[in-house]
Amino acid sequence: MDKVLVVGLLTIAGVITSLFLFNGLRESVDKTAETNQQTQILSGIAAQTKLQIISARNGDNGGVLDIWIKNTGIVDINPVTIPDLELFLIDVDGKWGEYIDYSSTGPVAGADTWTEIGFADPIWAPGKTLRVRVTLGANPMLATGYRISINTYNNVTTGGNNVTTGFRFQGDPSAVAPIIPTLSPVPTSTPVPTGVPTPTPVPTGVPTPTPIPAPTPSGSCSPTSPGAAPILNSVATSIGYPRQMLAINGDTSGASIVWGAGTANETTITTGAGGTRYFQIPDNAAPAIYPVALRVGANTSNIVCVTVKASSGTFPAPRIEDIGLHGRTATDLAFTVAAANLDADATVTVNGVAIPNGTLWSALPVAYQLTHIPATFGYPIYHYAQLKGVIQNPTIGSVLNVVITNHDGQSSAKSYTLPARWEDLDSDSDGLLDRWEDGIYTAPGGGTVNLSAMGVSKYRKDIMVESDWSAVAAPSEGVWTGAVNTFAQAPVLNPDGSSGIDLRVDRGQGGAFTEGGEVLTPHTTIWFGGISGGGYMNFFDYKQTNFNPDRQGLFHYNIFGRGSPRGFSGVAEFPVGGPENGDDFLVSCGSCGENALIGTFLHELGHNLYLSHGGLGAVPEASSWEHNQYRPTTPSIMSYRYQFGGTNQSCNTNSEGLYTFSQGQIKTIDELDTNENVGICDNNALDISVPSDGQIAVGVINSDTSSGRWGTADDTHRDSNQWGNIVIDFRNR
Amino acid sequence: MNISVKILLTGTLVTLLLGCSGTGGESIDKSSDIVPVIPQITTTQKITIPPTDHPLLVQQTPVPNNEPLVMSTLIPNPLEQPSLLDDDLPDIVISMGSQIFSGNLDYTGPITTTNGTIEINQSDASPIIIQYRLPQQIGPIPDINFGTVKLISKNTPGYIHREILISDDVGLIFGQILKNTESPITIELGGPVSLAQSSVDGVTPDSSNSLVLVNVNMIDAGSVTTPIPISSPHSIPTTIGNIDVFVDISFYNKSNPLYSESFTGYSLDTWIVRKR
């Protein structure tokens, strides 16, 4: 084929992305890939393009990684463009990632590079496999899971028609090592001595004796070893999109971040009070690797490299997730407002009045979109951030209408109602008043509950649960660990700036938790209501006997039962109709394995928190669509699809062990106008029909999956921001 | 541009160059030729979100930085051979290989029965194993080695539909049914014999009592012969032989809007063993 034509075809292909999940230090990954494709229309020519990473193996104790990439499209690719492939290695948590440089001369000692092996064909024809070898001299792979992402990037745009080409691939999840939550900081882009002298601290505008080249897309940033303070340990994540907010691990007190440190285009970024702990990648940062440093006064830290990926779609509007309080003086009240995709320099108004002292208080970086195509999502989330401000002389009992506005003018609004009395402040909106969380709660009957001894905090959300069980259905310790971890990892920013929610289950484990863990009298089945007798037990008869009424309004009450009359795996109250509702839930799945029990526990507790199968809200308040039990656009354990096996992060409808609620990122699907070729995200072809028809279709599909009370013929399926709308305060619903 | 203008401009440029370089007879310090290259910071932008010194903002100690959002996944539970719950209450499990059986089966052929197990030996697929623990005081299931099996097994988080009907040439010899429908449930036992739920009217949703018991009757040759007590064993002579029945559950539920998993309809969970 003529060379010019080959290049032309590749140009038409635009950006091709291939993604692979890989388990570090495994001998082999031989899972068959699933691939997806889409047709791109550019300049009036349609071209079908596909790349597939068909295998990856590592060796030399993680120092070498071989990847086989197959051209599975219908387009010839010119081998001279192989060096243009962009190869990223990202750990499965997204905490660490690296753009790997191409080396035309083979491995480079002490560096991470890649090169093709033995490819001598004049064209990279469809069906041909390219083998590349990654030599990881600086950052050998560890025994964890990795994502391999390969893009062809040739600066071709789609002419503004928002047609994004490419496909995503994900290996069989069984090939991926489990992700172990890490509570201690994990270094990202650990500085490695490279022989490049540590630059002398460079005050802005002062000449430096050592020329430092400007960053280029080929990745010329060289990290340097920490020297004198300040020290920059890492930036998390070390890869991001323009405007994405990252966290700084280092000497941030009084510091600014220097973007493009030591180059001709330095940008100093200062956010927050007391030092820059989080910052956003500049809006206009082009795809490249950038040197980043901390600067305090005239002192500049070592260099850490941050890779910027090309923007994908437009940056979404902010979305308020939570409003909280964080202290008050005689006249002033500090408040926090947390939002998805919030800018560090967003403005805040309360009841129409600008808050002049609003400042970035905290953030939660999000790596998820780094391995996805944000433009294919309805609401891609790049980060969560939190502003803090002070209101002067607020009126107790009044409504605070809070509006945040990003620097692009997009905004979000939410209201917060102050209590009728100052002593009834509930700063974190978890239903436990501040004064209770500071000490001991006294129940109306005079009994007490020592909440502070249970570890609660008035500025961090707590969910209290007491659990009892039937002997045959006793949950293992892993059930508690799994459930607690799900809430600990919640994308929720508390007034104190921390992320996650503390789920505290009294299962009789000791300390301040001695009332749960009762082994109940045997039953065959258990449910809400009815008359106990024979093998049947009414849940509330057990509760009457085993739940301390002093805990009413503070604790949810839960039972792990043997089974239910109809075969339901559980049931829960919605938090509607009064303070006595929304606090009871049953898991009735004695034959369920540990993971299914975790999912069912979280699912039923989720109902107590105002979540429904297809979204939000409880009967009778919610419209019927929110109860669709198998909605394809709700990646949440609230969906029957995922309750037992967990959901996924793979833009499909498989159960892949992720036990969480939805964040509302998936685009809306219209059954009457659906393109299954592009699926629900990442242009991942997906049979959305329910039941599956085995077809990838365009046009009208059917995924009406509701039954019984929830039976409605939904045509529109949207995702819901469940984490951002949970109602922990069931007393006041 | 015409030629005269070009000449004028060229002459001007030459004059300027000569003028600039004209230093006469001055001595030159050659060391000054080594001009240090000093890179300049040509562009310095500043993005500053001004901090504030309000006590409520500066006196609170920030918590440690948040790690990037982690979405950890759980390792799938290892596959275990499905088994009965570890107690002495009635229970039944249908499995195929190491999985819970899900689907329908209409089968006539060899059957192997042992104490607590029925094995359906399909010629073209793995055997289906039914493990059971009968309610006390009914049974045991007579040994048979050939029969007809009708099997429905569906498990979802929302309901279980299970019908196991094993018959010999006379009629049903073993049945275990967990069924949920909008109307009263009837089970044909063979010949003129059936079990039938009564209908219930006037049940209102009530958080304390939305679930009411429903009577079950044995019908033989078109007439009710015996009301079946709930949750206790009962033996009934019929035209196809003596039948032990244990109705574990028979109720009608009116959907309660305050409950998440809720429904309106009849449910029946019953065990049937015909004695030879």
**ipTM value of the model?**
0.80
Confidence band, pLDDT 50/70/90 cuts, at residue A438: very high
Query: Residue B274 pLDDT > 50, yes or no?
Result: yes
Lowest model confidence (mean pLDDT) among A133-137, A448-452, B7-11, B87-91: B7-11
- Of the pLDDT bands very low, low, confident and very high (cuts 50, 70, 90), residue B220 is confident
Tens of pLDDT, residues A242-299? 999 999 999 999 999 999 999 988 999 999 878 999 999 999 999 999 999 999 999 9
Q: Whose CA is closest to A530, among B86, B162, B208, B241?
A: B208
User: Euclidean distance between the first and final Cα of chain A, in Å?
Assistant: 69
Domain boundaries, chain B: 91-274
List of chain B residues whose C-beta atoms are within 8 Å of the C-beta of residue A296: none
CA distance A357 to A390: 7
**The pair of three-digit structure tokens given for residue A363, joined into one six-digit string:** 């953030």
Is CATH 3.60.90 the classification given to domain A3-175? no
Pairing of strands A462-470, A502-506: parallel
B206 in contact with A, Cβ within 8 Å = yes
To the nearest whole Å, the CA of B52 is away from the closest chain A CA by 6
Q: A658 CA to chain B: closest CA distance, Å?
A: 4
Q: Report the share of chain A in percent with pLDDT over 70.
A: 78
Interface contact flag, B47 A345, Cβ < 8 Å: yes
> How far apart (Å, rounded) are the C-alpha atoms in residues B111 and B88?
26
Q: What percent of chain A has a predicted confidence (pLDDT) above 90?
A: 57
User: What is the DSSP secondary-structure string of A545-593?
Assistant: HHS-GGGTTTEEEEEEES--TT--SEEEB-S-SSTTSS-EEEEE-TT--
Greatest mean pLDDT range, A129-138, A144-153, B22-31, B229-238? B229-238
Greater confidence, A666 or A177? A666
Residue A147, beta-bridge partner list? A21, A90
Work out the angle at residue A328's Cα, subtended by the Cα atoms of residues A325 and A329, and round it to the nearest 5 degrees: 170
Query: Mean pLDDT over residues A197-226, rounded?
Result: 46
Q: What CA–CA distance (Å, rounded) separates A678 from B238?
A: 61
Q: Indicate the residue of B56, B67, B208 with minimum beta-carbon distance to A236.
A: B67
CB distance B73–A528 less than 8 Å?
Answer: no
Strands A555-561 vs A462-470: parallel, antiparallel or unpaired: parallel
Residue-wise pLDDT for A325-346, tens only, equals 999 999 899 999 999 999 999 9
- The model's confidence at residue A409, banded by pLDDT at 50, 70 and 90, is very high
Tell me the three state secondary structure of residue A18: strand
Q: How confident is the model at residue A175 (pLDDT cuts 50, 70, 90)?
A: very low
For residue B19, pLDDT over 80 is answered with no
A566:B210 CB<8 A: no
Return all residues near A695 (Cβ < 8 A) that are at least 6 apart: A676, A687, A689
Reading the block at residue A651, the tokens are 């833009």
Checking if the pLDDT of A38 tops 50, the result is: no
Query: Does residue A76 surpass a pLDDT of 60?
Result: yes
Instruction: Suggest the residue from A328, A558, A566 to mutate for an interface test with chain B (most B CBs closer than 10 A).
Output: A566
Is the CB of B185 inside 8 Å of chain A's CB atoms? Answer: no
Q: Rounded to an integer, what distance in angstroms lies between the CA atom of residue A415 and that of residue A337?
A: 10
Instruction: Look at residue B179 and tell me whether its pLDDT is greater than 70.
Output: yes
Length of chain A: 733
Residue B205 is classified by DSSP as -
Nearest to B157 among A497, A640, A656 (CB): A640
> At residue A608, what are phi and psi to the nearest 5 degrees?
-60, -25
The residue type found at B249 is I
How far apart are the CA of A111 and the nearest CA of chain B, in angstroms? Answer: 26
As beta bridge partners, residue B233 has B246
The verdict on B257 touching A (C-beta cutoff 8 Å) is yes
The label of the residue with tokens 């490049």 reads: A196
A248 and B49: CB-CB below 8 Å? no
Query: Mean per-residue pLDDT for A721-731?
Result: 95
* pLDDT band for position A385 (cuts 50, 70, 90): very high
pLDDT in tens, B100-125: 999 999 999 999 988 899 999 888 88
Distance CA A441, CA A420 (A): 19
The domain ranges of chain A are: 3-175, 319-424, 434-582, 609-733
Partners of residue A357 in chain B, C-beta under 8 Å: 52, 54, 57
* B211 at A interface, C-beta within 8 A: yes
What was the pLDDT predicted at B78? 86
Q: What was the pLDDT predicted at A47?
A: 34
Maximum mean pLDDT: which of A40-44, A291-295, B1-5, B169-173: A291-295
Average pLDDT, chain A: 80
- C-alpha dihedral sign at A707, A710, A715, A720: negative
pLDDT value at residue B7 = 53
| Tokens linked to A515 | 């009332």
**Closest partner CB to A565 (pick from B50, B57, B251):** B251
Query: Pairing state of beta strands A411-417 and A441-442?
Result: unpaired
Q: What's the whole-number mean pLDDT along residues B217-241?
A: 85
Place of tokens 């009294």: A506
Select A319-424's CATH number: 1.10.287, 2.40.50, 2.60.40, 3.20.20: 2.60.40
Is A108 exposed, middle or buried (CB count within 10 Å of its CB: 0-12, 13-18, 19+)? Answer: middle
| pLDDT at residue A3 in the model | 31
Query: A197: left (phi > 0), else alpha (psi -120 to 50), else beta?
Result: beta
% pLDDT > 90, chain B? 41
In this structure, of A306-320, A446-460, A591-605, A704-718, the range with the lowest mean pLDDT score is A704-718
A11: left (phi over 0), alpha (psi -120 to 50) or beta: alpha
Task: Search chain B and give the residue with CA nearest A176.
Answer: B75
* pLDDT value of position A42: 30
Residues of chain A with C-beta less than 8 angstroms from the C-beta of B70? 93, 179, 181-182, 489
B82–chain A nearest CA distance, Å: 9
Q: Tell me: the pLDDT tens digits for A11-31? A: 223 334 444 444 443 322 222
Give the pLDDT confidence score for residue A102 in this predicted structure.
86
Sheet holding A347-350, edge to edge: A353-354, A347-350, A399-405, A411-417
Burial (CB count <10 Å: 0-12, 13-18, 19+), residue A120? exposed
Interchain contact, A528 vs B71, CB within 8 Å: no
* Whole-number Cα distances in Å, B201 to A227, B183, B184, B206, B263: 82, 11, 11, 15, 16
Nearest CA distance, A572 vs chain B (angstrom):
5
Best mean pLDDT range from A513-527, A604-618, A678-692, B131-145: A513-527
- Chain A CB contacts of B180 under 8 Å are 566-567
CB atoms within 10 A of CB A71: 21
B260 touches chain A (CB under 8 A): yes
> Nearest Cα to A301, choosing from A369, A402, A387, A199?
A199
What was the pLDDT predicted at A83? 80
Q: What value does the mean pLDDT of chain B take?
A: 80
Sign of the alpha-carbon dihedral angle for A6, A12, A15, A21: negative
Tell me which chain B residues have a C-beta less than 8 angstroms from the C-beta of A212.
39
SS3 A473: helix
Q: Higher pLDDT residue, A378 or A146?
A: A378
Two tokens at B254?
């009116």
Q: Provide the pLDDT for residue A23.
A: 44
Are B85 and A562 in contact by the 8 Å Cβ rule? The answer is yes
State the Cα torsion B234-B237-B243-B249 to the nearest 10°. -40
List CB contacts (< 8 A) between A252 and chain B. 65
Q: Is the pLDDT of residue A688 over 50?
A: yes
Residue B188: per-residue pLDDT: 87
Summarize the confidence of residues A603-615 as an average pLDDT.
94
CB contacts < 8 A (A, B): 316
> B87 and A574 in contact by Cβ < 8 A?
no
Residue B158 and residue A565: Cβ atoms within 8 Å?
Answer: no
Residue at A500: amino acid letter:
G
pLDDT at A99: 78
**pLDDT confidence band for A465 (50 / 70 / 90):** very high
In this prediction, residue B201 has a pLDDT band, given cuts at 50, 70 and 90, of: confident
Q: Which chain A residue lies closest to B205 (C-alpha atoms)?
A: A529
Question: E strands within A117-198?
Answer: 129-136, 145-152
Q: Give me the mean pLDDT over the A134-161 stretch.
A: 61
Q: Cβ B51–A174 below 8 Å, yes or no?
A: no
pLDDT over 70 at A584, yes or no: yes
Angle at which helices A594-608 and A477-488 pack, to 10 degrees?
Answer: 50
Please compute the mean of the pLDDT values over residues A592-613 and round it to a whole number: 96
pLDDT digits (tens, 9 = 90+) for A87-119: 777 766 666 777 788 888 888 888 888 888 877
Closest chain B residue to A325, measured at CA: B56
How far from A587 is each of A284, A647, B158, CA to CA, in Å? 51, 19, 12
Strand partners, A20: A148
The CB density around residue A406, as the number of other CB atoms within 10 Å, is 21
